[in-house]
């Protein structure tokens, strides 16, 4: 009887948690995913004067990228990558990639990896193509212990539905299918449950701005931010001013172990893997064959990380940058920017944290640096 009661309690609790996470859905990847909302949000964003309020409670960044990918013809440059390039855009000052792109549509997603580059490259060319595709390549994107491309893309069903097609078109084979337990295990994830409870409380309190389309009424000062995060009409992101101000006040750590636990070193993923180098070679080749100009962008990491010159982390960053430049030289692809902030003239106070540079720093990445490939 005791065991049965325990079993009943556990099943009831799990059912309640799963139901809460599925229907409240703070990441907009279950009940609130799909339908017409991502397309409506994307269309409203592009038509807005100053952008829309954004949070993952409203729409996940991958659902948004999927919606925006249907409008790539509106820009001559499409940005693909991770959160390190989410701020690249042509709205406000300073402008990103000035002289390279007249108009930009930013499709970057948080934690963007090889699979995201495959999917979004495929969609950009299928729905466009644009004149140029700007690819933000992080220091460890081509490094992995295994040949798994990750499961983060699979949390969004609509987004991951393009995964197999992207592999067939670009790689001519299925390297990995889209079946994953990640989406289902996420329903009992503690952090996701906390977000569900927080969002549910906002709903109960009558705050529905977190789940709808809310226009920003005033022009956004991109270096200052606003009360909430904002998606600008070009798809680039402006952080809340509280985050921007806090980041300015908190010094970037100088402890090596801080970086060791937050970089590829944590899981041994430091050196570029020949498997992923080949995958990226084929992505770039596909872009070129489609009549589109690829440009690889390397965004810098804070100088405090670079102080550990003899560490595996720094040596791998330097080596991986060299590998990417060699790949660019082989294919005739411009590789601009650098993982080292000194190469760009970025100051120590132009970072939110050790791996996310501010717009001031990113604006220094120019096409004239293409000579570094040679």
Residue 34 region by backbone torsions, left for phi larger than 0, else alpha for psi between -120 and 50, else beta: left
Tokens 């806090």 appear where? Answer: 246
CA 250 from centre of chain: 23
pLDDT value, residue 370: 42
CATH architecture of 37-180+208-373: 3-Layer(aba) Sandwich (3.40)
Q: Provide the 3-class DSSP secondary structure of residue 258.
A: helix
**What's residue 369's pLDDT?**
45
pTM, two decimals, is 0.84
- Give per-residue pLDDT as tens, 152-164: 555 566 777 888 8
CA atoms within 13 A on the CB side of 279: 27
Asked if pLDDT for residue 367 goes beyond 70, the answer is: no
| Model confidence pLDDT, tens digit, residues 331-364 | 999 999 999 999 999 999 999 999 999 999 999 9
CA angle 308, 339, 131 (to 5 degrees): 170
Between 75 and 37, residue with greater pLDDT = 75
pLDDT at 177 over 80: no
CA dist., res. 286 & res. 280, Å (int): 10
Residue 237 has pLDDT above 60, yes or no: yes
150 to each of 75, 177, 278, how far by Cα in Å?
29, 11, 17
Instruction: Choose between 282 and 25: higher pLDDT.
Output: 282
Where exactly are the structural domains of the chain? 37-180+208-373
pLDDT digits (tens, 9 = 90+) for 14-28: 888 888 878 777 766
Q: In terms of pLDDT, which residue wins out, 175 or 263? A: 263
Q: What is the DSSP letter of 183?
A: H
């Amino acid at each position: 009887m005791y065991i049965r009661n325990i079993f009943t309690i556990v099943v009831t609790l799990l059912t309640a948690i799963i139901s809460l996470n599925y229907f409240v859905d703070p990441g907009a990847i279950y009940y609130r995913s799909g339908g017409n909302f991502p397309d409506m949000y994307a269309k409203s964003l592009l038509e807005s004067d100053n952008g829309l309020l954004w949070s993952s409670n409203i729409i996940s960044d991958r659902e948004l990228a999927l919606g925006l990918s249907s409008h790539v013809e509106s820009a001559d440059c499409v940005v693909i990558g991770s959160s390190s390039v989410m701020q690249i855009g042509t709205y406000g000052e300073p402008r990103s990639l000035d002289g390279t792109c007249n108009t930009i549509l930013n499709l970057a997603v948080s934690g963007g990896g090889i699979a995201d580059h495959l999917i979004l490259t495929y969609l950009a060319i299928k729905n466009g193509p644009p004149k140029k595709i700007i690819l933000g390549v992080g220091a460890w994107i081509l490094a992995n212990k295994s040949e798994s491309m990750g499961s983060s893309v699979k949390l969004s069903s609509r987004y991951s539905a393009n995964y197999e097609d992207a592999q067939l078109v670009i790689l001519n084979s299925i390297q990995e299918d889209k079946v994953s337990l990640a989406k289902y295990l996420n329903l009992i994830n503690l952090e996701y449950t906390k977000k569900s409870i927080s969002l549910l409380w906002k709903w109960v309190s009558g705050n529905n701005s977190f789940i709808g389309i809310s226009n920003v009424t005033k022009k956004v000062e991109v270096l200052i931010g606003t009360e909430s995060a904002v998606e600008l009409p070009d798809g680039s992101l402006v952080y809340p001013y509280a985050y921007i101000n806090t980041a300015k006040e908190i010094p970037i750590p100088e402890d090596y172990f801080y970086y060791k636990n937050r970089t590829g070193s944590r899981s041994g993923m430091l050196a570029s893997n020949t498997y992923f180098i080949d995958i990226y070679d084929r992505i770039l080749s596909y872009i070129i064959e489609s009549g589109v100009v690829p440009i690889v962008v390397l965004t810098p990491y804070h100088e405090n990380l670079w102080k550990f010159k003899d560490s595996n982390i720094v040596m791998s960053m330097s080596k991986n940058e060299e590998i990417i430049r060699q790949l660019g030289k082989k294919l005739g692809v411009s590789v601009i920017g650098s993982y080292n902030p000194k190469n760009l003239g970025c100051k120590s106070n132009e970072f939110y944290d050790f791996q996310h540079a501010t717009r001031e720093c990113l604006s220094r990445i120019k096409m004239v640096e293409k000579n570094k490939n040679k």
